[in-house]
């Protein structure tokens, strides 16, 4: 049946059954594939998106329960200056290995920096603790977030 979801500032109409998740409709119907299906259990963080401004798991959100919420995926942040700084820093620092976790990490890092513009290393690690990198490239990811925060300073 048809649902009307607010995604990246636009109302999008999707077909969903009772057990379909937000992640499924994003990837399979809207072809917004930045959010990845990793564990599908809420553990890995590869599907992290913003729901009403807060990072949450698309795989643990039933599509039907998302009507009325404002959903922002990584694609919706492509004109955001803070996200551009993060992406540049990730590239320059070598924080992307296989890249599968990167979209979720970027969404979590963006949320972290929007609340804490100058995080310490332990705050960066705690802020990203919901995102697993199976290449185990955590050190460079934390360095990249610190670099993006430094770049943002006037």
Q: Which residues contact 68 (CB under 8 A, 6 or more apart)?
A: 6
* CB closer to other proteins, 51 vs 146: 51
**Least Å distance between CB 54 and other proteins?**
4
From 7, 38, 56, 141, residue interacting with other proteins (rule: CB under 8 A) = 56
From the CB of residue 104, how many other CB atoms can be counted at a distance below 10 Å?
Answer: 28
Helices (H), the chain: 22-24, 81-93, 102-115, 121-127, 138-152
| Contacting other proteins within 68-107 (CB under 8 A) | none
**Least Å distance between CB 63 and other proteins?**
8
Q: Which residues contact 87 (CB under 8 A, 6 or more apart)?
A: 106
- Residues at the contact surface with other proteins, assessed by CB under 8 A: 1-3, 16-19, 21, 40-42, 45, 48, 54-57, 59-65, 67, 108, 111-112, 126-127, 129-131
């Amino acid at each position: 049946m048809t649902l009307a979801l607010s995604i990246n500032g636009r109302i999008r109409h999707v077909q969903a059954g009772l057990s379909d998740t937000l992640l499924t409709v994003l990837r399979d119907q809207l072809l917004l594939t930045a959010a990845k299906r990793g564990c599908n259990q809420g553990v890995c963080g590869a599907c992290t998106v913003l729901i009403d401004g807060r990072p949450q798991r698309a795989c643990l959100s039933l599509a039907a329960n998302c009507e009325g919420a404002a959903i922002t995926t990584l694609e919706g942040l492509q004109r955001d200056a803070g996200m551009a700084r993060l992406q540049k820093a990730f590239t320059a620092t070598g924080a992307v290995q296989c890249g599968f976790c990167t979209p979720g990490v970027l969404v979590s890092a963006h949320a972290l920096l929007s609340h804490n513009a100058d995080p310490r290393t332990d705050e960066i690690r705690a802020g990203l603790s919901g995102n697993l990198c199976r290449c185990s490239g955590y050190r460079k990811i934390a360095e990249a977030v610190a670099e993006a925060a430094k770049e943002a300073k006037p």
